[in-house]
Amino acid sequence: MPSDTAGARLRATVALPLAVFFAVTVEMAPAGALTHIAGSLNTDIGSAAAGSSLYALSTAILALPLSGLALRFDPRKATVLVGAIFTVLGLATAAAPDLPSYLFLRALNGVAHGAFFPLVLALAAAAASQNTGKAVARVLLGNGFALAAGVPVSEALATLNWRIPIAVAAAGVFFSILFAPRPVPSELEGNNDEAHTPARGVYGLAAVFALALAGHFSWYTFLAPAAAADTVPAPLALASYGAAVIIATVFSGTIAGWHRLRRATFVVAAEAINLAAAAFIPGPATTITASVLAGTCFGLLPTLVQTEMLERAASHRPLASGAAVVAFNTGIATGAAAGATTTGLSIHAPALLGAVLLLLAAAGFHAVHSPGGKRRGSRSVVGAKPEPVTITVPRTDRPRV
């Protein structure tokens, strides 16, 4: 029946963003429940926080090799299987009786996250019949809502019992991923030469992406204390930032169809100017403005860059997604650490450091930009080479680039 088909299409559309929403909630929920976790496991807050560090470390180290392994399997089946493993480990973590088992299970859950997130992004691209950018933006919207809504709700539930939000979100991953869409056959299927061609510039692009994220998070990590120093309530600054991220992510797919790296260069340069202004002209108005503009830039950049990586990767989409996950975790960790080294100078010094790193990233995006990107209105085929504008070359006779 048509209504059944429409319902199935709707479930497939929301399945991946919803799965990401629950997965990121599992990742971030303990951050707001450290006091409760420490009390329940008879330990201190620092030891309880080690669970989040182990989770992130496992994800960063193993995302790329696990993504390479995933190339051997059907993307939907692999995503559902890894989602099920993620759920089991999340439920086991929620039932951990003591600190050693909690830390061990959090580390394993991070391993599953390192495999799951790249698979979800790769499946979203493979299932997109025309617009990879919108598919990626839709998935990343789940990440934004997890930070804006999932984490605060988890903090509220943790006051009852810290195990509840982790268990509920872990179960949500599995029930969401059961409705994951199936990949659409690609023009590159059966092309053995393309299937074994290394991804063009994906790893260099991931390195520049990590640099941009380091610049962003060197500022964002210290947004709350910087806002307080400027007499701005930290919740207001964080809420302004979060709202801007979500709104920008919603619209990011519409600008990710063409000239992605040119747009990424502009976005990163704009954020650099924004953070420099926040560092040199501190004050309530500047803080709120910086929060909104930086949130907007952060909502746009991941969709632009990760869509470009997926387009370049051809049949290596899981590897491109894995490289993006590594870039995210590396950028967050190095940005926070780099920003911390400057707080002794001023609470606004991390913003200036972030501006410098972002300017370097803008130069990097400009350097890796290749002309001939997808034009408005043309179909987005993952991994396809740019076609000549005035000369039509049959596919079988196309010269190798």
- Residues 114, 23 contacting (CB under 8 angstroms): no
Residue with the larger pLDDT of the pair 184 and 30:
30
Written out in words, the top-level CATH class of the domain with range 202-368 is: mainly alpha
Which of 161-170, 180-189, 379-388 has the highest mean predicted lDDT (pLDDT)? 161-170
Neighbours of 357 (CB within 10 A): 27
Written out in words, the top-level CATH class of the domain with range 14-182 is: mainly alpha
Question: How far apart are alpha carbons 116 and 139 in whole angstroms?
Answer: 13
- Residues 315, 194 contacting (CB under 8 angstroms): yes
Q: Where are the domains of the chain?
A: 14-182, 202-368
Best CA proximity match to 177, nearest among 250, 81, 262: 81
Place 372 in a pLDDT band, splitting at 50, 70 and 90.
Answer: very low
Which of 199-203, 262-266, 338-342, 392-396 has the highest mean predicted lDDT (pLDDT)? 262-266
For residue 164, give the amino acid letter.
I
Check residue 375 and give its pLDDT: 38
Question: How far apart are alpha carbons 102 and 125 in whole angstroms?
Answer: 34
For residue 196, give the amino acid letter.
H
Structure tokens at 186: 């690609």
Structure tokens at 291: 């929060």
